[in-house]
Amino acid sequence: MYLIVIGAGDTGSHLIERAVNDGNDVVVIEKNEERANTASAEYDCLVLHDDARNHDTLKDAEIDRADAVISTTDIDSTNIMVMLLAQEHDVPNLVSVVHDPENLPVFEKIGATLIENPQHLIADHLYHSVRYPNVSDFIELDETTELVELTVSKDAPMSGQLLNSALEVGSLPEGALIVALERDGTIQAPTGDTRIQAGDQVTVFTDDASLADAVKAFTGSEI
């Protein structure tokens, strides 16, 4: 893919590295000279030290070739302007970091794929790591629901349980639903006849009210 990345700060740099290592054609636009020079030295891609809000800069980046424009700056107004300009060039994929939730409607009208403030995401992840140490990964779907990844322990209430009877016997809380299961390196969609085993890695959809009970059900540990 031909990708244009706006910004070579902390978020942009990780993205650039990943995109370049995956073999994509990447052009970086960075207004800060020091960051632009650093990116140019570290990554095998074209780096333009310029302002992405300028039409000529985007033309120099060959925006009409772009499969995606990804804006990672820490200023929402800049990200919005970049998305609007990219939209004018019919770039098929528009992606942007959003820092202020009040600006979400503007980005949504543009049709951009949105990435929540990375600092907030890191803070949430750190909090979950402390609050729920037995959760190996999580995705917050909205303010009240999330997906959590858990490894089933031998002494957990769900270990050895059939899914179609787990609710009846009280092993699985009502607000939790197993959406995927990985066993011996193979991912499967569980059915009512699936028997949970120790060592299984399960992905569970749960609401906040049932999260603590869901963690206990699969790990045997209190939160």
Q: Which CATH architecture has domain 2-116?
A: 3-Layer(aba) Sandwich (3.40)
Give yes or no for residue 122 having a pLDDT over 80: no
Of 124, 123, 106, nearest to 114 (Cα)?
106
Distance, in Å, from the CA atom of 164 to the CA atom of 22, rounded to the nearest integer, reads: 42
C-alpha distances (whole Å) from 146 to each of 14, 58, 149, 151, 214 are: 25, 38, 10, 17, 12
Question: Residue 2: which pLDDT band, with cuts at 50, 70 and 90?
Answer: very high
Distance, in Å, from the CA atom of 85 to the CA atom of 223, rounded to the nearest integer, reads: 48
If you search the block for the tokens 């528009």, which residue do you land on?
Answer: 94
In this prediction the pTM is 0.61
Instruction: Retrieve residue 206's tokens.
Output: 């749960």
The residues, ordered by sequence, that sit 6+ positions from 114 with a Cβ below 8 Å of its Cβ are 95, 96, 97, 98, 104, 107, 108
Question: Residue 211: which pLDDT band, with cuts at 50, 70 and 90?
Answer: confident
pLDDT digits (tens, 9 = 90+) for 124-153: 655 555 556 566 666 666 667 878 888 898
| pLDDT (0 to 100) of residue 117 | 63
CB count within 10 Å of CB 79 equals 31
CB count within 10 Å of CB 54 equals 14
Ordered DSSP codes for 53-107: TSHHHHHHTTGGG-SEEEE--S-HHHHHHHHHHHHHTT-SEEEEEE--GGGHHHH
**Count of CA atoms in the C-beta half-sphere (13 A) of 65:** 13
Question: What are the b/e assignments for 100-132, b being 16+ CB within 10 Å?
Answer: eeebeebbeebebebbebbeeeeeeeeebeeeb
More confidently predicted of 28 and 206: 28
Helix H or strand E segment including 115: strand 113-116
Look up the CATH number of domain 122-219.
3.30.70.1450
Give yes or no for residue 97 having a pLDDT over 80: yes
Contact 217, 158 (CB under 8 A): yes
Instruction: Retrieve residue 215's tokens.
Output: 């963690």
pLDDT digits (tens, 9 = 90+) for 163-180: 888 888 888 888 888 888
Would you kindly state where each structural domain of the chain is located, as residue ranges?
2-116, 122-219
CB count within 10 Å of CB 22 equals 10
